[in-house]
Structure 1
């Protein structure tokens, strides 16, 4: 796994160079990678097996805003322009609330990774079409000209240049959650223009 390899290399450098690389920034980056790995392991534990869905009648609008609230500090400190469009017909859906919340969190997190350190736009849209709930997350970050969607959900999403596999595990889980619900995920991306991800789920209600 790319994240594990990065952590191993960083720890080796710290062991070899001692105080030379033992700066606050190096420590911060290492802690961040450990936290990323912990989140990835937790999600694989939750979604890596064919567990049954815990379906419930879920207020979709409330869930969307709950997900966005988790990233409020990122939006604020980085000056990210957030565009939210939730159609009036988006109300309730019979879904696994926990799994959908985590999947949407992954999409927002990946979009944040694709944006520059300051500025950028992130859009979250939701609508209903043909008895399906459609949720879309888009950013105007780096984007990629690499073939989508096969590579996106196998080895990584090709974003962030030198870190193409950074979001691989997360996006695999997004796809798994959608398919567990009988839905699907599609993506479009263009180098320098950004990435658009659409999750389509049956309402079931």
Structure 2
């Protein structure tokens, strides 16, 4: 910190939710100096409340389980769901980079994902699927954070089991690993 109380960084991230922390990790991995600021005394953003399910068409986890999907189907589904708000350039960027993002985080960090057995919101619509696009981060031993563990936002009690967030992706992982 400079004498006048200012800090210099290459990237300033406002908010410590999944999006903010993902941005910080990618920037740091690229060699940039990153500063994350958070208004709350805890970090984790609303991801601690939502369960952190990601919707990523064409992901490697679905492919590994033999689940068929295509960019064309995902694009068709998104066009139908978004209606007049469909933004082709953004959709194409998402369809191209969403799967790459999952692979990056599994390769470059300790985060691991599992396929969540959730359908699209409207799986019967054109391009919709019954399974394969939703993924969830697997449990992480927060004790590895040391004293920073106490600064994690607590999840909602309604989505926890024995103090851990619980969803179908975790149940599926436990079932697969246990068999």
User: If the length of structure 2 is used for normalisation, what is the TM-score?
Assistant: 0.27
User: If the length of structure 1 is used for normalisation, what is the TM-score?
Assistant: 0.24
**More strand, by proportion:** 1
